[in-house]
Amino acid sequence: MTDFKFGSKKIPFSWPRGWDVSSWLPEDRPVFQEEGEIVIDALDAPFGSLPLAEVLDKDDRILVVVPDENRNPRLDVILPILLKRIQLRKPKRVEILVVGEGGVRPRVSDAFLAKLGSWDGCDDVHLHEPSEVVSDGLKEESVLGTTIAVNPLILEADKVIVVDQMNFHDMLGYTGGGEGVSLGASGWETVRQNRSLVFDKKGRRHTRAAAARMNGNPVFEDAQEIAQLLNPDFVINAVLGIDQRITRVFCGDVGSSHVEGSRIMMGFFRMRVPRKKTIFVSAGGAPNDDSFLSVMKGIQYWYRVVRPKGTLVVGAACTLGLGNDKLAKWLAMPPTEVRKVVANRESFDPLAYAVLCLREAQHHCRILLWSDMNPEEVRFTGCVPIKNLPEAFLMVRKDTKEGLPQVGWVPSANQTLGIPG
């Protein structure tokens, strides 16, 4: 039996008898420490920085920047340890700023906010509102022309600490590092202009602006320049396993700690695998499959491993539906029109670009989606709705002209990257 992560559930299933199934999992590295011990050791041995205790001063006003529930790096483990360390330096005030991803308002529940505010050492919790950061804050431009407008709390704090999760990113290369301040805590226009660098001035897509690429990636280099300008005092990057447990933590300087974390992502979570006519993927369960917008990441990371005109079977709960009301606008637009929008820096929209990438995946292969979404809503996305795995098995079997199906299986598509080879 195999478990399929679907929302908050693990659904056991068996592959049909005789099928040739290749399971693609991250390289297994045993972890002999408890999660808390991993965090403590990382805080004591930062990269390119003094230890946290030597970075902070007495009476500092400290701001801790953390991601929302959509990208939670196990704040339940990290924050209590971090806040305890901070209190040893007797700060004047400690506040937490929750940021969203991609220039959107943070997605948080009342329980999440209550938990953040309940920890000893936290004086207040704020939600970053990208749409409100227009003229306040730092008024400068990056070398590549991105207007920089950041949440005033970043500039008012004596010390800024950023906590984030490292993962692949389809434009930045990787999440983590200084992204929490350079983009997470910035205004919408800053994020939009940065993401638009995926195209050059002539409307051609940069081949380096992709997952697992930093050198020569204009989107990453622009974000990194902004992060260096804002200069957070300490960064904590957590790498989670597919079981959502902390496996590694990289702390310290905004650049050095991110580079070290990216090496782990590249070595453990990127896989070179043979192309298959059919691939089954789970987004990895909640929170990775909470919305169709989140699931689109896993599709991007794995569709190229499917042979042209093959089938990608995706299982994801999508309990929040599309995940962003504005996504429907771009899904309803013809791909040619979407491309015109994103190829122009003045009109570029990250959601439109995500839809363009989805359409490219759907042109490459058929995508079947098993979810809790309404079938009509699934069809609106361009995917084929299915009720369950047995239905997918039957469809794949009918498409197999000779012998039994040979398929690939990816248990956590949103945390891994497939490279055909």
pLDDT score, position 29 = 62
Tokens read off for 237: 């990057």
Distances from the Cα of 1 to the Cα of 16, 258, 389, 401, angstroms: 11, 38, 14, 27
Check whether 164 has a pLDDT greater than 90: yes
Nearest in space to 417 (alpha carbons), one of 298, 288, 289, 240: 298
Residue 303 reports pLDDT greater than 70: yes
Superfamily, domain 2-26+274-420:
LarA, C-terminal domain (3.90.226.30)
- Least-confidence region, from 87-91, 103-107, 142-146, 287-291: 103-107
pTM reported for the whole predicted model: 0.93
Burial readout 37-60 (b: 16 or more C-beta within 10 A, e: otherwise): ebbeebbeebbebeebeebbeeeb
Q: Identify the band that residue 27 occupies on the pLDDT scale cut at 50, 70 and 90.
A: low
Own/partner pairs, 26-31, CB within 8 angstroms, 24+ separation: 26/241, 26/242, 26/268, 26/269, 26/271, 26/412, 26/415, 26/416, 27/267, 27/268, 27/269, 29/247, 29/268, 31/241, 31/245, 31/247
Domain edges within the chain: 2-26+274-420, 35-267
pLDDT score, position 181: 86
Dump pLDDT digits (tens) for 231-269.
999 999 999 988 889 999 999 999 999 999 999 898 889
Compute φ and ψ for 411, nearest 5 degrees. Answer: -75, -20
When pLDDT is averaged across residues 213-217 and rounded to a whole number, the result is 95
Residue spans of beta strands (DSSP E) within 298-380? 306-315, 366-370
Beta-carbon contacts of residue 207 (< 8 Å; ≥ 6 apart): none
Average pLDDT across the chain, whole number = 93
d(CA 215, CA 49): 22
Q: For 181, which DSSP code? A: I
The pLDDT value given to residue 392: 97
pLDDT tens digits, one per residue of 367-417:
999 999 999 999 999 999 999 999 999 999 999 988 899 999 999 999 999
Please give the pLDDT value at position 134.
59
| pLDDT of 30 higher than 70 | no
- Using CA atoms in the order 180, 182, 183, 188, what is the torsion angle rounded to 10 degrees? 140
Cβ–Cβ < 8 Å for 258, 173: no
pLDDT in tens, 105-155: 898 999 999 999 999 999 999 999 998 775 444 558 899 999 999 999 999
If phi > 0 it is left, if psi is from -120 to 50 it is alpha, else beta; for residue 390 that is alpha
User: Angle at Cα 12 formed by Cα 8 and Cα 18, nearest 5°?
Assistant: 145
Predicted pLDDT of residue 146:
93
What's domain 35-267's architecture? Answer: 3-Layer(aba) Sandwich (3.40)
Tell which wins on pLDDT, 56 or 27.
56
pLDDT category at 350 given cuts 50, 70, 90 is very high
Two tokens, residue 304? 């190229």
